[in-house]
Structure 1
């Protein structure tokens, strides 16, 4: 009887332990799905609305390009230009994603370029932010205009 008990006990234990290849597949599936959920949340968070700008108002700034960040989800240019009081400010201008800027590369704009930018101003004037609608570099006639989401 004792030998039979141990045989039954062994059978129960081996039946309740899953095959390691099945466990690995399930774990990979669970972690893969978890990773997809996390990454999709990051993408959704990164893409925001433009509620922080006045889309029905446009302003023009003219000044010197300080930096150009060609990236996703939105590219940015920073420009030293006067505000409506004539004081030089550093403007942060949000542009389209790198993938939406056909013909534009990270070398298209250089610090020191004189540019004229038209855009929708931010709702907080002290932030000196714009959503770009157009950019012109007078020295060679480079220009871009358009809309992006």
Structure 2
């Protein structure tokens, strides 16, 4: 039902333009279709928003193929604000994670960049203190 609501708002031309935005970033039409099936709102974002999120993640050290993979896995991360992404990454770096570890976490669990700093700290503290997972400083 959500997919129908999203599609009904746009003309065919508008949908084609949205798909073209994703294609310019390196997605195939099948990738866009897969993201749409997972999260129909992925076609509702503006070119500016999609590109901004993509560029923010690149600025944070992620490679294009890693970003494409994460968007395909969890298209909701496209909606995260630049501030949210930067805060999440800053918090994880402040907790002692390396850039490589951040990349691995993002690839496996893209939702992590949308968590608040407080939530991120609580989850990290639980893993380190309660579960005795080592964290390199």
Is the shorter-chain TM-score for this pair beyond 0.5, marking a shared fold? no
TM-score in terms of structure 1 length: 0.27
Which protein is richer in strand relative to its size? Answer: 1
Highest Rg: 1 or 2? 1
Which protein is richer in helix relative to its size? Answer: 2
